[in-house]
């Protein structure tokens, strides 16, 4: 109807559904624009979605464009999207019917110029520095004379030839080359993997573990060296247990791996010079030290010899040392001779004095005294001896009668016998007798040797109160 209330004239426009209109718009946009490159600032990026896809917007001063990076393509990107980064996105323009929006499906993402790369590099540097990856306390000392050096670089460039030539000139050692691409999207990951794999080598494995790692590349632009700013590479360098030298670019080129490395070389040749000493200089230094050592030993020996001579002049001669003991010995010998003479004289004097007291008269008187004393004691001593002999004879006779009464010989005399085995041990029963055993029968008037024939006597039939009369049947 019109504003006045009258009905509107009929329209000839074709009626379509919302889905049909959305499909036509989608086809029109994709056919008209197709593959495009758009420059803008990333906005609203909060990291990949749980599905792995990335959703954000590209904006400039007056417009905003929705953008999406599918999960499979995001894993291939050289530069991941970061909030506020100005980039050049390449992809296909399409629509999203679900919310009536148009968007770009990105398959490549690059920072917009060197300024954007520098801003991204500075932001990444601050982030890694805040984690302490660039702290000097984390850096290791380089070995003075490594036996094995691992070099991570391109195997076909001039860099590896310069390093090998310089090491060979200075001090030839074993060099292991880990080939990588030093430029391109995958260069950072390949170098990081090389650092990781060198650290995983066992100490005594078939491939020797390097004592030092050199990461090297020639000079280039910021874009050419961008792989050495890779965050994974910086973390692998900082966590390396093997000391690492960074030799990326020329002296004026700086990358993030230079901050994390244990030592930064201005050029790959300088890295080789830092890695090994000059063999000729070491040989000259060793020769100089050897000459100085020999000179020092000679001077020290001369000094000690002079000191020994000086000390020997202050020592006494053997005659001087033995003079006093020799004199003391002579004096002692003289005193000993005199003492012996005096001792003999004294002994002779005592002997003469004692001999004077032993006169014949005194000896006769002593003998008479002893004879009288013996005569008085002789009868008493005779009586005691006779009494003692009588008592001993009576005791011997009693013991003899007791022994005879207790002896088993008296039992044998009454008709009994003792049976002994081959070991001359008496037997108490037939259980211990074996057939054919040699036995000895002892009776009152002698012994009889027999051999046991068999056991045939029943113990129950033998009288316990009278001796067996038929003993011959036992054998």
pLDDT of residue 335 exceeding 60 = yes
Instruction: For residue 219, give the CATH number of its domain.
Output: 3.40.50.261
User: Where is the domain boundary, 293, 309, 325?
Assistant: 309
Segment 153-200, tens digit of pLDDT: 999 889 999 999 999 999 999 999 999 999 887 888 999 999 999 999
Residue 456's domain comprises: 411-474
pLDDT, residue 466, reads 47
Domain boundary among 111, 136, 164: 111
* Residue 393 belongs to a domain: no
Q: What is the pLDDT of residue 110?
A: 79
206 and 160 part of one domain: yes
**Interval 406-420: pLDDT, tens:** 777 777 877 888 888
CA atoms within 13 A on the CB side of 397: 6
Over residues 216-237, the pLDDT tens digits come to: 998 887 778 888 988 899 999 9
pTM > 0.85: yes or no: no
pLDDT band at 243 (very low <50, low <70, confident <90, very high): very high
Do residue 222 and residue 194 come from a single domain? Answer: yes
> In this structure, are 174 and 254 located in the same domain?
yes
The pLDDT of residue 459 is 55
Per-residue pLDDT for 51 more than 80? yes
Asked if residue 134 is part of any domain, the answer here is: no
Q: What is the pLDDT of residue 268?
A: 93
341-395 confidence digits (pLDDT tens): 888 888 888 887 776 666 677 777 777 777 777 777 778 888 888 888 898 889 9
Are both 269 and 205 inside the same structural domain?
yes
pLDDT in tens, 418-439: 888 888 888 888 877 888 788 8
Residues 252 and 167 placed together within one structural domain of the fold: yes
Q: What are the Cα distances from residue 112, in Å, to 87, 159, 357, 371?
A: 4, 30, 150, 156
Query: pLDDT value at position 464?
Result: 47
Q: Is residue 220 located within the same domain as residue 235?
A: yes
Confidence of residue 97 (pLDDT cuts 50, 70, 90): confident
Tally of domains within the chain? 4
**177 vs 151: CA distance, rounded Å:** 5
Q: Are residues 203 and 304 in the same domain?
A: no
95 and 177 part of one domain: no
Q: Across all residues in the chain, what is the average pLDDT? A: 84
Are residues 83 and 35 located together in one domain of the fold? yes
CATH code of the domain covering residue 27: 2.40.50.140
Percent of residues, the chain, with pLDDT higher than 90: 30
- Res. 456 pLDDT band, cuts 50 70 90: low
- % of the chain surpassing 70 pLDDT: 91
Question: Of residues 2 and 281, which shows the higher confidence score?
Answer: 281
Residues 233 and 297 in one domain: no
Q: Is residue 444 part of a domain?
A: yes
Specify if 39 maps to a domain: yes
Both 150 and 273 in one domain: the answer is: yes
Domain annotation covers residue 286: yes
Tell me, yes or no, whether 260 and 172 share the same domain.
yes
In this structure, is residue 418 part of a structural domain? yes
């Amino acid at each position: 109807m019109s504003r006045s209330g009258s009905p509107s004239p009929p329209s000839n426009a074709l009626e379509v559904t919302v889905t049909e209109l959305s499909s036509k718009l989608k086809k029109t946009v994709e056919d008209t624009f197709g593959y495009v490159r758009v420059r803008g600032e990333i906005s609203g990026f909060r990291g990949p979605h749980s599905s792995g896809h990335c959703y954000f917007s590209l904006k400039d001063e007056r417009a905003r464009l929705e953008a999406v990076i599918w999960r499979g393509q995001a894993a291939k990107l050289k530069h991941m999207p970061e909030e506020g980064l100005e980039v050049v996105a390449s992809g296909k323009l399409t629509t999203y019917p679900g919310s009536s929006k148009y968007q770009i499906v990105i398959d490549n993402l690059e920072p917009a110029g060197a300024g954007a790369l520098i801003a991204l590099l500075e932001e990444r540097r601050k982030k890694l520095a805040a984690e302490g990856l660039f702290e000097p306390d984390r850096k290791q000392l380089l070995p003075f004379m490594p036996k094995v050096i691992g070099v991570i670089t391109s195997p076909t460039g001039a860099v590896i030839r310069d390093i090998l030539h310089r090491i060979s000139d200075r001090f030839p050692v074993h060099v292991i080359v880990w080939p990588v691409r030093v430029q391109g999207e995958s260069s950072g990951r390949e170098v990081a993997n090389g650092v990781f794999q060198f650290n995983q080598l066992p100490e005594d494995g078939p491939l020797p573990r390097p004592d030092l790692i050199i990461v090297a590349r020639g000079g280039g632009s910021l874009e050419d060296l961008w792989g050495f700013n890779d965050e994974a590479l910086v973390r692998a360098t900082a966590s390396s247990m093997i000391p690492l030298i960074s030799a990326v670019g020329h002296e004026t080129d700086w990358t993030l791996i230079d901050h994390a490395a244990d030592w930064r070389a201005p050029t790959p040749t300088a890295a080789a010079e830092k890695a090994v000493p000059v063999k000729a200089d070491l040989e000259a230094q060793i020769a100089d030290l050897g000459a100085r050592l020999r000179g020092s030993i000679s001077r020290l020996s001369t000094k000690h010899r002079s000191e020994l001579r000086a000390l020997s002049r202050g020592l006494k001669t053997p005659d001087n040392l033995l003079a006093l003991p020799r004199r003391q010995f002579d004096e002692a010998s003289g005193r000993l001779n005199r003492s012996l003479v005096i001792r003999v004289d004294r002994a002779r004097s005592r002997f003469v004095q004692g001999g004077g007291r032993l006169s014949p008269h005194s000896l006769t008187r002593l003998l008479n005294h002893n004879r009288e004393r013996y005569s008085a004691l002789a009868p008493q001593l005779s009586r005691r001896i006779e009494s003692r002999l009588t008592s001993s004879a009576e005791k011997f006779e009693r013991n003899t009668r007791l022994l005879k009464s207790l002896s088993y010989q008296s039992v044998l005399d009454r008709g009994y016998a003792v049976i002994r085995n081959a070991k001359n041990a008496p037997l108490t029963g037939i259980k211990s007798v074996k057939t054919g055993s040699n036995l000895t029968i002892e009776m009152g008037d002698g012994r009889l040797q027999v051999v046991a024939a068999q056991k045939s006597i029943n113990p129950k039939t033998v009288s316990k109160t009278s001796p067996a009369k038929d003993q011959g049947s036992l054998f």
